[in-house]
């Protein structure tokens, strides 16, 4: 297959190549289902839609899924006003070579590559080598095993040297199975506290590596979704995986700056700039009680960047 058409993606337009825009709700759509692909333009409020070739697609439907992605992007990429993402199969699967061929055929139509089950530096290097000059994609990795979590800093260091690294997704179900959590984890996912917080901490060592939180499987339990989303946002995650469109507004609200935090950020930045100009010092007292220095300034700027 060879890509046809001349659609311009957001990456080509330079809208965010090399920097991260919000991926608050990351909606994964099984690419073997053509009907669901054709509904994508109706998901106007979703930050990020990922065309899936991996867990959401049966082994017997992998080729159909590739053909659907090829057809859909060639026919509709120019109509999509958001990041175009594809989740390939893992590097250890029997499907990866065919996935790489698809990526090369669609290299001008895909913005971001979601790569699951990354357990080693060697896998990142293998993918970069196979893609060759086509490795201009923004890259989001999945952490889904004990090995991946333990080696995550090294993996991200390698990935950031080979690709524009954009984020890390916590794959809770595969991780739980790998570390031996019996049955499903609880609704508040306390069994995964260490893994989730470590992932956020390591991501913060890399400028553009957004930590994206676990999926909330029970898509009908919107109250539980809201609670877990707000918890993830409080812990430092910047977004969350979703599996149903009705989850999107709840998740995106949870990971969006509140009106009060936006006002706080604007006032803090104005006060900081005024104080630095008049006093020549970086640290000062804000609103009579908060000692402001560079870390708080970075937080305020992050809030305004998210708002924009």
Question: Residue 221 has which token pair?
Answer: 């339990």
Is 23 part of any known ligand binding site? Answer: no
Is 223 part of any known ligand binding site? Answer: no
Please tell me the total number of residues recorded for the chain in this structure. 308
Where do the H-state alpha helices sit in 132-170?
146-150, 152-162
**Is 55 designated active site?**
no
The C-alpha atoms of residue 226 and residue 224 are separated, in whole angstroms, by 5
- Residue 114, by phi and psi: left (phi above 0), alpha (psi -120 to 50) or beta? beta
* Helices 62-76 and 96-105, packing angle to 10 deg: 10
Which residue bears the tokens 């708080």?
296
Catalytic hit among 59, 129, 188, 293? 293
The C-alpha atoms of residue 209 and residue 158 are separated, in whole angstroms, by 13
* Helices 121-131 and 152-162, packing angle to 10 deg: 20
- Residue 189, by phi and psi: left (phi above 0), alpha (psi -120 to 50) or beta? left
Is 82 part of any known ligand binding site? Answer: no
Q: What is the DSSP letter of 148?
A: H
Which residue bears the tokens 């800093």?
153
Query: Please, are residues 170 and 143 in contact by the beta-carbon 8 Å criterion?
Result: yes
Q: Which residues are annotated as a binding site?
A: 87, 144, 174
Catalytic residue IDs: 293
Known binding residues for Mg(2+) are 144, 174
Please enumerate, by residue number, every residue annotated as part of a binding site for substrate. 87, 144
């Amino acid at each position: 297959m060879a890509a046809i058409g001349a659609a311009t993606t957001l990456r080509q337009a330079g809208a965010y190549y090399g920097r991260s825009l919000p991926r608050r709700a990351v909606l994964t759509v099984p690419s073997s289902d053509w009907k669901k692909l054709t509904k994508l333009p109706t998901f106007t409020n979703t930050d990020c839609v990922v065309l899936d070739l991996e867990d959401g697609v049966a082994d017997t439907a992998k080729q159909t899924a590739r053909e659907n992605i090829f057809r859909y992007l060639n026919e509709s990429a120019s109509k999509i006003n958001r990041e175009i993402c594809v989740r390939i199969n893992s590097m250890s699967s029997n499907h990866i070579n065919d996935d790489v061929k698809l990526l090369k055929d669609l290299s001008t139509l895909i913005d971001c590559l979601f790569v699951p089950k990354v357990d080693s530096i060697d896998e990142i290097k293998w993918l970069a080598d196979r893609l060759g000059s086509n490795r201009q994609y923004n890259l989001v990795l999945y952490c889904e095993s004990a090995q991946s979590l333990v080696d995550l800093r090294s993996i991200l260091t390698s990935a950031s040297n080979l690709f524009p690294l954009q984020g890390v997704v916590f794959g809770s179900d595969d991780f739980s199975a790998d570390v031996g959590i019996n049955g499903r984890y609880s609704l508040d996912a306390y069994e995964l506290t260490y893994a989730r917080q470590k992932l956020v901490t390591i991501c913060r060592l890399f400028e553009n590596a957004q930590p994206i939180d676990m999926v909330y499987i029970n898509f009908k339990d919107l109250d539980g979704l809201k609670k877990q989303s707000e918890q993830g946002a409080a812990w430092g995650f910047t977004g969350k995986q979703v599996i149903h469109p009705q989850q999107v507004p709840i998740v995106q609200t949870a990971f969006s700056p509140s009106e009060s935090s936006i006002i706080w950020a604007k006032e803090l930045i104005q006060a900081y700039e005024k104080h630095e100009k008049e006093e020549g010092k970086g640290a000062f007292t804000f609103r009579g009680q908060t000692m402001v220095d560079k870390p708080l300034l970075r937080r305020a700027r992050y809030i305004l960047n998210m708002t924009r």
